[in-house]
Amino acid sequence: MSHQEKHPLDPGEGSRIFIAAVVLKHPGQLTPFFDITDPEAAPTITLGSEIFNGWGGNAAKNGGLDFCYDAELGIAGNCRGLPGEGIEGLRGFHEPVRRLRDLGFKVIFSISNLPSERPIDVIPELAEKVVEIVRPTAIEVNLSCPNGMLDDGSFHPPVCNNAKASGELMQATRSRVGADQCLGIKDSAHVPTLRYNANVIEIMHLVRDTSPYIDFATGINTIAEQPFPE
C-alpha cells in the first residue's frame, strides 16, 4: 500500500496478517470477535466471498466434502464453490459488522460470481448492495476464482487473467460504490499449475487496467491441479 498510514486498511500497531476469505461465511461466525477488547490484537478479517444469487456450493453436490485439513503437515485446502445466501443473506451481516466497526475492527467484504453469471452483470450491483446494507471497511472483488463457464461445461481461466475484462469490471464497480468506498481486487498466482512461473506480463497488464479504480490488491488465490487425497 502506498501512503499506508492513511489507508483505510492500515492496522496501525496491530497485525498486518489478515484472515482471508472463505473462512468466515456466516454472521454467527463473527460472535467470538466481540469478546476481543483490543482490536489491535486481532487481524483484519475478510468475509465471504459472497454472491449475488444464493446457492449451496460444491458440498451440496459432492457428498458434503469441500474442505480438508492435514494436521500432520499443518495445511488446508478447499474447493467450496462459493456457497452463500446471496443478496438476501447480506442483511444478517449488518448488525455484527456494525458492532465490529464500533469496536475498531477493519472488515473486508469479498464478493464474486457464480459460473452461470457474467461478472459484469452481478458484481457491480452486488458491491453497491454491500455498501448500502453491510457498510464494511473495504470491498474485495474476487477476480481470481475460475468461475466462468464455457458452453461445453468447462471452466475458463479466472477474470484476473484478462486485464481488459478486469479493468472494465472494476470501472463499473467503482461507478456503483463511489469514490470514497475502499475497493480492491483479489488476484490469482497467474500460473496454470505449480510447474510454471508467474506470467509477469499478464500481471503488469492487470495492474495497468485496474489500478485507476482500486485502492488495494489481495494475493494470491487459486493455483490449479492441487492434489488432495480426500
Q: Identify the pLDDT of residue 2.
A: 45
How do residues 136-195 score in pLDDT, each as one tens digit?
A: 999 999 999 876 666 776 667 889 999 999 999 999 999 999 999 999 999 999 988 888
Distances (CA, A) of 71 to 37, 74, 77, 228: 30, 5, 12, 13
Residue 92: CB partners within 8 Å, gap ≥ 6? 26, 27, 85
∠ CA 188-174-165 to the nearest 5 degrees? 45
CA distance 105 to 134: 14
CA distance 47 to 22: 7
How do residues 88-138 score in pLDDT, each as one tens digit?
A: 999 999 999 999 999 889 999 999 998 888 999 999 999 999 999 999 999
How do residues 26-68 score in pLDDT, each as one tens digit?
A: 999 999 999 988 877 777 899 999 999 998 887 877 677 888 8
Packing angle of the helix pair 119-133, 87-103 (nearest 10 deg): 40
pTM beyond 0.85: the answer is yes
